């Protein structure tokens, strides 16, 4: 973990000039927030108007903004700083948010554990540093998922759903997770999510107006189709093979001559089967022990990341949350067969191997990570089934033991 931390920090340091020159994704948030601050928010989804502001800080044209405009209210304070200073503050804030995640999660870990060990685990995970390198907002979403987990575990389902709705700036990650909860019968969470979504939409409408929201809907629908995704790929160098998801795996496995309709069929079938499978595990954990719920939450979040349509390595930073949930439970569980345990630990080390990410990213084959992810999630689901059976047996035997006594 310490070696990977040093390597990750070195990668970030080597990219400092590119970050300062705006050759990452932070200029999108910074320039769009400037548009809001200067009263030009009606042009947020006009690509030419958007890049007019972007070219104030970088000479690199940016792809279309596909985030709900309410998120820009968070970035407006950064526009009062010079761009380079804003980059530094955003990076420091990202590390601070990761420290907050570590502080929250170290309380859930079983056995001997400390904030330092939890924080080291997070910092050893390369996707977190890739998110910082790209100036992306995925760490903010990680904080929201962590807070939602913290609230949900304490029986505050409505508030957990409300907090999740605040992450709708990345609907491709939030909506599938809420859909899993809906299929699993988590009505209170869905109710809280609807309330939060209403607030998010109201804030977004206040920022850009009804006309701007209509423009946003057209952009989102266009990018959600396979044909438009290919056009986006050609114009803005979007490579699905760099996505560690089901879509990325199909991109690196299927030949170019495979018909688009067949690709879409595979994509949709795999997506809905994955969501239904995760919902089944969450439904079975309902009313069980806290450990069963923790595993169900981890499986649901990991599955959401696996089947997301538009997610890159920076979004994969959310996978640290299932690791922080399952890792300590695996270390103390007596229900994991030795071979399964060894395999899970081996897969865990692969996920924390920075050179693996660098190599797959260099050749554009990040989609192969889907195989490791799927195997790890499937093994955890088998372990979760054993855990639930053990809990059910203990509950069944308890009355008999009481009578015998």
Alpha helices in 106-186 (DSSP H): 115-123, 126-134, 138-153, 157-165, 171-183
The predicted structure's pLDDT at residue 400: 36
Query: Looking at the predicted structure, is the pLDDT value of residue 225 above 60?
Result: no
Residue, of 121 and 110, whose pLDDT is higher? 121
Q: Give the residue carrying structure tokens 């913290």.
A: 150
Burial of 24 (0-12, 13-18, 19+ CB in 10 A): buried
Between vectors from CA 43 to CA 34 and to CA 308, what angle results, nearest 5°?
Answer: 85
Q: Is 125 within 8 Å of 11 (Cβ atoms)?
A: no
Segment 91-117 shows an average pLDDT of 85
Query: Looking at the predicted structure, is the pLDDT value of residue 160 above 70?
Result: yes
Segment 246-270 shows an average pLDDT of 90
Copy the structure tokens of residue 153: 């575990």
User: How would residue 131 be classed by pLDDT, with cut points 50, 70 and 90?
Assistant: very high
Query: Looking at the predicted structure, is the pLDDT value of residue 281 above 50?
Result: yes
Q: Which of 52-61, 183-192, 241-250, 260-269 has the lowest mean pLDDT?
A: 52-61
Percentage of the residues of the chain whose pLDDT score is greater than 90: 52
Q: Hey, which bits of 209-344 come out as E strands? A: none
For residues 207 and 139, give the distance between their C-alpha atoms in angstroms, rounded to a whole number: 23
The predicted structure's pLDDT at residue 239: 81
For residues 156 and 152, give the distance between their C-alpha atoms in angstroms, rounded to a whole number: 5
Give the pLDDT confidence of 8-44 residue by residue, as tens digits.
999 999 999 888 888 888 998 999 999 999 888 877 8
The predicted structure's pLDDT at residue 235: 54
Query: Looking at the predicted structure, is the pLDDT value of residue 188 above 80?
Result: yes
Query: Looking at the predicted structure, is the pLDDT value of residue 110 above 90?
Result: no
Query: Closest Cα partner for 248 from 361, 343, 127?
Result: 361
Grouping H, G, I as helix, E, B as strand and the rest as coil, residue 75 is helix
Question: What is the pTM assigned to this prediction?
Answer: 0.90
For residues 296 and 288, give the distance between their C-alpha atoms in angstroms, rounded to a whole number: 11
Q: Which of 116-120, 216-220, 225-229, 272-276 has the lowest mean pLDDT?
A: 225-229
Query: Looking at the predicted structure, is the pLDDT value of residue 398 above 80?
Result: no
Give the pLDDT confidence of 288-308 residue by residue, as tens digits.
677 788 889 999 999 999 999
Q: Which of 21-25, 34-38, 96-100, 200-204 has the lowest mean pLDDT?
A: 21-25
For residues 333 and 328, give the distance between their C-alpha atoms in angstroms, rounded to a whole number: 9
Grouping H, G, I as helix, E, B as strand and the rest as coil, residue 352 is coil
Q: Is 282 within 8 Å of 177 (Cβ atoms)?
A: no
User: How would residue 405 be classed by pLDDT, with cut points 50, 70 and 90?
Assistant: very low
Taking all residues of the chain, what is their mean pLDDT, rounded to a whole number? 85
What are residue 323's phi and psi, to 5 degrees? Answer: -65, -45
Residue, of 90 and 404, whose pLDDT is higher? 90
Q: Is 180 within 8 Å of 303 (Cβ atoms)?
A: yes
Segment 201-218 shows an average pLDDT of 86
User: How would residue 389 be classed by pLDDT, with cut points 50, 70 and 90?
Assistant: low
Copy the structure tokens of residue 132: 């910082």
Give the pLDDT confidence of 312-369 residue by residue, as tens digits.
999 999 999 999 988 877 777 766 677 777 888 888 888 999 999 999 998 889 999 9
Query: Closest Cα partner for 372 from 312, 306, 326?
Result: 306
Buried b (16+ CB within 10 A) or exposed e, 119-141: bebbbbbbbbbbbbbbbbbbbbb
């Amino acid at each position: 973990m310490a070696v990977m931390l040093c390597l990750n920090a070195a990668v970030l340091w080597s990219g400092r000039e590119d970050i300062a020159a705006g050759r990452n994704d932070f200029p999108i948030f910074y320039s769009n927030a400037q548009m809001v601050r200067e009263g030009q928010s009606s042009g947020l989804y006009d690509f030419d108007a958007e890049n007019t502001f972007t070219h104030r800080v970088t000479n690199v044209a940016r792809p279309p903004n596909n985030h709900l405009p309410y998120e820009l209210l968070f970035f407006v304070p950064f526009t009062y700083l010079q761009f380079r200073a804003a980059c530094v503050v955003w990076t420091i804030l990202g590390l601070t948010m990761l420290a907050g995640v570590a502080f929250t999660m170290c309380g859930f870990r079983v056995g001997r554990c400390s904030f330092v060990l939890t924080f080291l685990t997070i910092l050893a995970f390369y996707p977190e540093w890739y998110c910082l390198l790209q100036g992306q907002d995925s760490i903010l979403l990680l904080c929201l998922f962590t807070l939602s987990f913290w609230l949900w575990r304490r029986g505050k389902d409505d508030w957990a759903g409300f907090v999740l709705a605040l992450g709708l700036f990345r609907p491709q990650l939030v909506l599938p997770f809420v859909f899993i909860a809906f299929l699993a019968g988590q009505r209170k969470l869905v109710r809280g999510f609807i309330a939060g979504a209403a607030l998010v939409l109201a804030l977004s409408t206040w920022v850009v107006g009804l006309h701007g929201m209509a423009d946003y809907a057209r952009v989102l629908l266009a990018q959600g189709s396979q044909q438009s995704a290919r056009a986006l790929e050609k114009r803005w160098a979007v490579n699905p093979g760099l996505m560690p998801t089901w879509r990325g795996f199909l991109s690196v496995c299927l030949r170019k001559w495979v018909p688009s309709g067949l690709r879409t069929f595979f994509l949709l079938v795999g997506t809905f089967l994955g969501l239904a499978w995760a919902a089944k595990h969450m439904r079975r954990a309902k009313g069980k022990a806290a450990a069963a719920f923790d595993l169900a939450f981890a499986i649901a979040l990991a599955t959401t990341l696996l089947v997301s349509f538009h997610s890159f390595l920076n979004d994969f930073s959310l996978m640290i949350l299932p690791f922080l949930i399952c890792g300590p439970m695996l270390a103390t569980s007596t229900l994991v067969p030795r071979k399964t345990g060894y395999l899970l630990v081996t897969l865990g080390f692969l996920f924390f191997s920075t050179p693996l990410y660098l190599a797959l990213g260099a050749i554009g084959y990040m989609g192969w990570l889907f195989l490791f992810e799927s195997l790890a999630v499937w093994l955890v689901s088998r372990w979760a089934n054993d855990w639930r059976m053990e809990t059910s047996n203990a509950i069944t035997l308890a009355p008999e033991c009481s009578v015998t006594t």
